[in-house]
Amino acid sequence: MGITKTQMFNSDQNELAIIFKVLAHPARIAILQHISDQKACICNDIVTEIGLAQPTISQHLKELKSIELIKGEIEGKKVCYCINLEKWKEVQVLMNSFFDKAKLNCC
């Protein structure tokens, strides 16, 4: 497999590509929606709510944490997750900027 040419693109383009790649799985969207609908951090109900196996949920949570959209705190044997509001807003600004620059003048 060849090397990637990410250096050819600006930082916003590279960051958006990473974000879109992580968000490209419907389970991750479902997890984000579930976490964002809660009034507090959640600990154990993600598996029950989403309906996937624990290892699968853990992998999706790891991917979401890799771009810092969620953060987790360890409480004993449990890890509780919540939305990282600061990063959430950064991503929103980045995506809005991307979509606002689009010139919709095609047929």
For residue 1, name the pLDDT band (cuts at 50, 70, 90). very low
Question: Is 0.75 topped by the overall pTM?
Answer: yes
Its domain, for residue 57, covers 9-96
Flag whether 34 is in a domain. yes
Flag whether 22 is in a domain. yes
Contact 25, 17 (CB under 8 A): no
Per residue in 59-102, pLDDT (tens digit) is: 999 999 999 999 987 777 678 899 999 999 999 999 999 888 77
Q: How many separate domains does the chain show?
A: 1
Flag whether 84 is in a domain. yes
What is the domain-level CATH number for residue 24? Answer: 1.10.10.10
